[in-house]
């Protein structure tokens, strides 16, 4: 099914760059944009609700989504699988609602293949040092986990040229405003 109504904008970038913060700021300024909810095989954490943070599915349910092409993209991470259900995205776009996907670089590549008209936006840090400070300053993971994220971040930063637009997240409000301009007119980002 090809949907060509409302824009599909993919926001990606390395861990710690502030994807969620920028997207939240953009959504607070324009509640008419819909943020896609991913499916995952991981169990819910305390306070999470099915359909709000994630759609929590069994391994078998996820296998079925993959087999029936019910996902725009999917990836495995830390022993669980995550993916973007295609149906809700297509429905919102067909109804004229702009859709944001906040996903990893690997998923953005899959969306590029499956939805040629999607606009891929890469969020970059102002510098490597800033990204490193953000990741180490969280204090939520042990040193080994931080090092894995830093290694992955180097690889993901190298993929920035695969995206239509690179936004440097030096200021959340400015970056969110730039993202909103792209959602309003995705063609402005293309030559």
Domains and CATH numbers, the chain: 8-189 (3.40.50.300)
* Residue 24: pLDDT over 80: yes
Mean pLDDT of 107-116: 93
* Average pLDDT score over residue span 7-22: 94
Neighbours of 100 (CB within 10 A): 21
Q: pTM of the prediction?
A: 0.89
Give the separation between CA 89 and CA 94, rounded to whole angstroms: 9
Percentage, residues of the chain above pLDDT 70? 95
d(CA 172, CA 178): 10
Of 102, 116, 128, the residue nearest 3 (C-alpha): 116
CA distances from 43 to 33, 40, 57 (A): 27, 8, 8
DSSP 163: S
pLDDT in tens, 122-141: 999 999 999 988 888 766 67
Q: Is residue 180's pLDDT more than 50?
A: yes
Residue 1 banded pLDDT, cuts 50, 70, 90: very low
pLDDT of residue 3: 41
Kindly tell me if the per-residue pLDDT of 4 is higher than 60: no
Strand order in the sheet with 119-124: 34-35, 99-102, 8-12, 119-124, 165-168
Average pLDDT along the chain: 91
């Amino acid at each position: 099914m090809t949907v060509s109504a409302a824009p599909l904008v993919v926001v990606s970038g390395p861990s710690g760059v502030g994807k969620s913060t920028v997207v939240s700021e953009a959504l607070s300024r324009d509640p008419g944009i819909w943020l896609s909810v991913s499916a995952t095989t991981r169990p819910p954490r305390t306070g999470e609700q099915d359909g709000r943070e994630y759609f929590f599915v069994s391994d078998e349910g996820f296998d079925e989504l993959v087999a029936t092409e019910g996902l725009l993209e999917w990836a495995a991470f830390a022993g669980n699988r995550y993916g973007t259900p295609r149906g809700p995205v297509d429905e919102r776009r067909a109804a004229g609602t702009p859709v944001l996907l906040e996903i990893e670089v690997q998923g953005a590549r899959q969306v590029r293949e499956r939805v040629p008209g999607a606009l891929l936006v890469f969020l970059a840090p102002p510098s490597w040092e800033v990204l490193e400070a953000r990741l180490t300053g969280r204090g939520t993971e042990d040193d080994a986990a931080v090092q894995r994220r830093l290694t992955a971040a180097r690889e993901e930063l190298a993929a920035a040229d695969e995206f239509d637009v690179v936004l440097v997240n030096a200021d959340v409000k400015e970056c969110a405003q730039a993202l909103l301009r792209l959602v309003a007119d995705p063609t402005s980002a293309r030559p």
